[in-house]
Amino acid sequence: MPDARFLLVRLGSLGDVIHALPAASALRDAFPGARIDWLVEPQWHRLLEGNPDLTEIISLEKKSAAGLVTTIRKLRAANYTCAVDFQGLYKSALPAFASGAPRRIGFPSTYAREGFVSFLYTDRINPRGAHKVDHNLTLAEAAGADARPSSPRFPLTPRPEDEKQVTQELARNNIADFYVLNPGGGWRSKCWPPERFGELHHRLAVQHGWRAVISFGPGEEKLAQELISAAGSRPPIAIPLGLGPLMALLRRAKFVVSADTGPVHLASALGTPVVGLYGPTDPARNGPYAGPNQIQSIVIRNPGKSETTYRRGASYSSPMLSITVDQVADAVARLVSAKT
């Protein structure tokens, strides 16, 4: 199919965009000369920059009617032969439909979060495999790619200026060897309390002399401060970073400790070992990806205390509260031992 022209739609969020990257790579391998564009929300545009599997990254401008019309006109002018919607929401399926692509691939109503969007697709594909990466690869296979590539790729490219900023921040705080703690997570019900992160940091500082950098996003400043307060006399450093510098930071870290949220998936995709803390969400579906040649990770979930649900609770859940500092410290020890 030398004239294949693909529109990929995964507007956000951080972890979900990362989980769709191998699908784009699989399509590029199958169609080396094809046009492969990706429609994404502006705040995640940086995540795709420098990706050799993509022809163009298109930001969905929806702050104004004029911006949205301009984006749709751009999509229609590209004359796509196929649109693939990895998201399964109206906000993703409607641009795919409006692009005019005669073939539109997505998940069926039984899988998509907003089930009726499946009527906007010409091809409704049941996902195979356990992980979200595998589900997305199923859609890529329906578009003509090999759904089981030998080595799924996550092309992520920190810029030199990102590296420079991180180098300066670490030097300013007299940090050379470090790990990353990420106390946030979108829904409070899948987070681990910052006080426990602080206790973990205190223990690792006493036992090993290690120091952490706290990763936090907008609105998570209080979590970072609570973590620092609980860490004792040798506190970690909280450094606010944009998406590009965050990539540079995570790539340098010894390891990352985080609940199920974007930075844990970003770290794993960059090749950094992670300890993932899971409660309501299923690590088999949403955990650090354990595909061929992927970096080792350790997931902590107490099965007897957990029931899989994707309801967005506003308070700490009992499954997450069941995870102890001892469990996490032991996982860190095993992870570091495996690296050496």
Handedness of CA 82, 87, 90, 92 (dihedral sign): negative
Q: How many residues does the chain have?
A: 340
Residue 158: half-sphere exposure toward Cβ, Cα within 13 Å: 24
148: pLDDT strictly greater than 90: no
Terminal CA-CA length for the chain:
47
Nearest C-alpha neighbor of 45 from the set 267, 265, 187, 242: 242
Nearest C-alpha neighbor of 20 from the set 99, 115, 107: 107
The residue assigned the tokens 């200026």 is: 161
The whole-angstrom separation of Cα 48 and Cα 85 is 17
- For residue 309, the tally of other CB atoms under 10 A from its CB is 15
Triad 10, 17, 21: Cα angle to 5°? 100
Q: Is the Cβ–Cβ distance between 70 and 95 less than 8 Å? A: no
Q: What are 44-55's pLDDT values in tens digits?
A: 999 999 999 999
pLDDT number for residue 62: 82
Residue 144: half-sphere exposure toward Cβ, Cα within 13 Å: 18
Q: What residues have CB less than 8 Å from 314, skipping those under 6 apart?
A: 187, 188, 189
**Better-scored residue on pLDDT, 291 or 74:** 74
β 56-59/35-40 pair status: parallel
Residue 254: pLDDT band with limits 50, 70, 90: very high
Q: What are 163-179's pLDDT values in tens digits?
A: 999 999 999 999 989 99
pLDDT number for residue 3: 86
Residue 309: pLDDT band with limits 50, 70, 90: confident
The whole-angstrom separation of Cα 193 and Cα 183 is 7
Is omega for the bond preceding 118 within 30 degrees of 0, making it cis?
no
Q: What are 230-245's pLDDT values in tens digits?
A: 998 889 999 989 999 9
Lowest mean pLDDT, pick from 15-24, 303-312, 316-325: 303-312
Identify any residues that bridge with 101 across adjacent strands, giving them in sequence order. none
pLDDT number for residue 115: 87
Go through the domains of the chain in sequence order and give each one's CATH number: 5-142 (3.40.50.2000), 160-339 (3.40.50.2000)
pLDDT number for residue 337: 86
Nearest C-alpha neighbor of 91 from the set 148, 12, 157: 12
| DSSP reduced 3-state for 213 | strand
What's the burial of 301, exposed, middle or buried (CB within 10 Å: 0-12/13-18/19+)? buried
- For residue 303, the tally of other CB atoms under 10 A from its CB is 7
Q: What residues have CB less than 8 Å from 19, skipping those under 6 apart?
A: 131, 132, 133, 136, 265, 289
pLDDT number for residue 186: 80
Average pLDDT, the chain: 92
Q: Is the Cβ–Cβ distance between 258 and 278 less than 8 Å? A: no
pLDDT number for residue 27: 96
pLDDT number for residue 292: 55
Q: What are 109-131's pLDDT values in tens digits?
A: 999 889 899 999 999 999 999 99
Residue 108: half-sphere exposure toward Cβ, Cα within 13 Å: 7
pLDDT number for residue 314: 79
Residue 7: pLDDT band with limits 50, 70, 90: very high
pTM of the model: 0.94
- Within its chain, how far is the Cα of 93 from the centroid? 21
33: pLDDT strictly greater than 80: yes
The residue assigned the tokens 């099965």 is: 303
The whole-angstrom separation of Cα 26 and Cα 148 is 8
- Residue 325 structure tokens: 């500092």
